[in-house]
Every structure is written in C-alpha cells, then in structure tokens.
Amino acid sequence: MPNRSERSKKTKFRRVAGGKSKRIFVRGKTGKHKCALCKNVLHGVPHGKTSAEVGKLSKTKRRPTALFAGVLCSKCRHLVVMEAAQVEAKAKKFDEVELRLQNYVKQVKVK
Ligand SMILES: [Zn+2]
C-alpha cells in the first residue's frame, strides 16, 4: 500500500535497467494566469510552466509590455486608465472611484 500522500499523486512508469518498471510521481501543469479584477484568462503570459521554468524564459516571453501587463486584462486596464485620467483632470474625486479599482488608479497616478 502506498503512503497516504502518494495515493492521490499522478504517477507514470519508467523502465529501469533490468527490465523493471519504476513508479515516478508527475507534477501537473500550472494553471493559466487570470485577471486580478474580472478573472478572465490573460493573454501573452506563459502557462503550464513552473516558476523555475518561467524564470529561464526571456523577459519578453514572460509578459507583454503594457501597463499592468500580467496582472489585468486589456478591458480592466482600459477601465483603470480612464478612471485615473478622470481623477487627474479633477472630473472625479478619488473617493468616487470604485473601491476595487482604487489601488490600481493610485499606481497609475504615480507614473
Ligand atoms: Zn479583467
């Protein structure tokens, strides 16, 4: 009987010298990255790779070069930038911005 923790792990069999097969544990692929606000799948971000494998990629393969790339989707980025522009132009007060957007709007103002 395998260990209790080994029961639910995904296994594969590898041939070893002597014609025997050895059981190995296989890690699953990592999930796709999601938008921090709307939870939609992000584009241009690697998936199915561990953080160590992602670290070996070139910078441009890790994330697109845009504001909040790898964090927000393009729709949410547009929403945040529009809110930030309204706050900057004093057409809207910062307190009137949606609470879930406030943290991102603050970051846009700094830049
Ligand atoms: Zn989104």
Position 10 in a domain: no
Position 9 in a domain: no
Give the percent of the chain with pLDDT over 90: 63
* Structural domain total, the chain: 1
Distance in Å, CA 38 to ligand 1 centroid: 4
Distance in Å, CA 41 to ligand 1 centroid: 8
Distance in Å, CA 80 to ligand 1 centroid: 10
Position 21 in a domain: no
What residues make up the domain containing 68? 30-110
Position 23 in a domain: no
For residue 7 the two structure tokens come to 């029961």
Distance in Å, CA 36 to ligand 1 centroid: 6
Q: pLDDT digit string (tens) for 53-104?
A: 999 999 999 999 999 999 999 999 999 999 999 999 999 999 999 999 999 9
Position 39 in a domain: yes
Position 3 in a domain: no
pLDDT band at 110; cut points 50, 70, 90: low
Distance in Å, CA 43 to ligand 1 centroid: 11
Distance in Å, CA 50 to ligand 1 centroid: 23
Position 24 in a domain: no
Position 12 in a domain: no
Note if the pTM is more than 0.75: no
Q: Which residues have CB atoms below 5 A from the ion given as ligand 1?
A: 35, 37-38, 40, 73, 76
